[in-house]
Amino acid sequence: MKEIHINCDLGEGGDFDAELMPLISACNIACGGHAGNSVSISRTIDLAIANNVEIGAHPSYPDKENFGRKSLKLPDEDLIASIIEQVKLVKKIAEEKGGKISHVKPHGALYNDAAKNKKTAEIVLDSLRQIEGDFTLYAPYNSIISRLAKPEIKVVFEAFADRNYNADLSLVYRSKPNAIIHQEEAVFKHVFQMFSEGKIRNGNESEINIKADTFCLHSDTKNSVQILSFLNKNLLDRNVKIR
């Protein structure tokens, strides 16, 4: 049986973390930048350990007002200090509980900016190099940050289960009506084509090549629990299990 790796952004104040955790391979925990605090981090790590789910840090621009989905212009040293503080907080709490962080995944605008902007990518990577530990970086395929990270920092290519893509592999802006995929069957078809064929069918119905080692479903996507349950069942029907 083949295996697929599914991750989910958790610890962001949503109501369904406990239901989502048994259905995924890895969680990306909000570190206080866009959401979360030491209490929510601790609670999410407890859930992850109980469900044998990989623990990841999910740092962002320090901007709870906009949920980290707006690009900020900060002095380089301030952004580096913020990223280090966020990741170290998750790392510290995980280690106190006998766990460890397996990966780091930037959130929202920081993730998108680092994918296409060399300076932002270097800031994120400079931050991670100052943190001790054997962890990977989740990043988009063919992104600037993924190219700059190797070989020093191992990259895990990520694709999104519940987001539509443009022809250049950027995500459709959330302000667009077709940005998010809500229907269970549509999410499944989207994920299975990426997993089995390494392709995406975008809004223009053209196919784009993509490489993905892990697939993200956002916890704040409508019906996220139902979508993941549907994915689990229908992948198993095709002899694929979620790792």
For the chain, the structural domain boundaries read: 2-238
53 to 69, 96, 126: CA distances (angstroms): 26, 17, 27
Average pLDDT value for the chain: 95
- The confidence score (pLDDT) of residue 148 equals 98
- The confidence score (pLDDT) of residue 21 equals 98
- Reference 17, options 5, 33, 35; nearest CA is 35
CA dist 101 and 56 (Å) reads 5
CA dist 86 and 29 (Å) reads 10
- The confidence score (pLDDT) of residue 81 equals 98
- The confidence score (pLDDT) of residue 202 equals 67
The per-residue pLDDT for range 108-132, each reduced to its tens digit, is 999 999 999 999 999 999 999 999 9
Q: CB 73: neighbour CB atoms within 10 A?
A: 6
151 to 128, 146, 173: CA distances (angstroms): 14, 10, 31
Per-residue pLDDT for 204 more than 90? no
pLDDT grade for 167, boundaries at 50, 70 and 90: confident
The per-residue pLDDT for range 175-191, each reduced to its tens digit, is 899 899 999 999 999 99
The per-residue pLDDT for range 78-107, each reduced to its tens digit, is 999 999 999 999 999 999 999 999 999 999
Q: What is the pTM of this model?
A: 0.95
Catalogue the long-range contacts made by 195-204 (C-beta closer than 8 Å, 24 or more residues apart): 195/4, 195/240, 200/159, 200/165, 200/169, 202/164, 202/165, 202/166, 202/167, 203/164, 203/166, 203/172, 203/178, 204/167
CATH code for residues 2-238: 3.20.20.370
What's the average model confidence in pLDDT over 37-48? 98
Per-residue pLDDT for 203 more than 70? no
